[in-house]
């Protein structure tokens, strides 16, 4: 939700927050996958899945950094206050 809202509002902070939420979900899935693989008798799966999770975190971190660092802090977001 934050990611789509951030893109719609052109908000680098919301986009970065959406990416962070996405990583949290992927890490949780990775932990479950790792537990399943190890319980099936393949202990090598744990470090391999750990490395994959690390790569995903690094990529999302890089993307979020680029999004936030390349935006103009004073840019017009297109959001307008509602008047009644």
Q: What is the pLDDT of residues 7-62, one digit of tens each?
A: 677 777 777 778 778 888 888 998 999 999 999 999 999 999 999 989 988 988 88
Q: Whole-angstrom Cα distance, residue 18 to residue 60?
A: 10
Buried b (16+ CB within 10 A) or exposed e, 48-68: ebeeebeeebeebeeebeebe
Residue 5: pLDDT band (50, 70, 90) is low
Residue 37: predicted pLDDT: 93
DSSP string, 55-79: HHHHHHHHHHHHHHHTS-TT---S-
Residue 3: predicted pLDDT: 61
Judge whether residue 76 has pLDDT over 90.
no
Report the SS3 class of residue 58.
helix
* Domain edges within the chain: 2-67
Task: List the structure tokens of 25.
Answer: 């979900």
Give this prediction's pTM: 0.62
């Amino acid at each position: 939700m934050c990611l789509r809202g951030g893109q719609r509002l052109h908000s680098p902070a919301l986009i970065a927050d959406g990416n962070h939420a996405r990583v949290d979900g992927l890490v949780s899935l990775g932990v479950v996958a790792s537990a399943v693989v190890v319980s099936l008798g393949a202990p090598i799966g744990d470090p391999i899945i750990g490395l994959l999770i690390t790569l995903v975190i690094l990529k999302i971190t890089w993307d979020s950094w680029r999004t936030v660092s390349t935006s103009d802090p004073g840019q017009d977001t297109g959001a307008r206050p509602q008047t009644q």
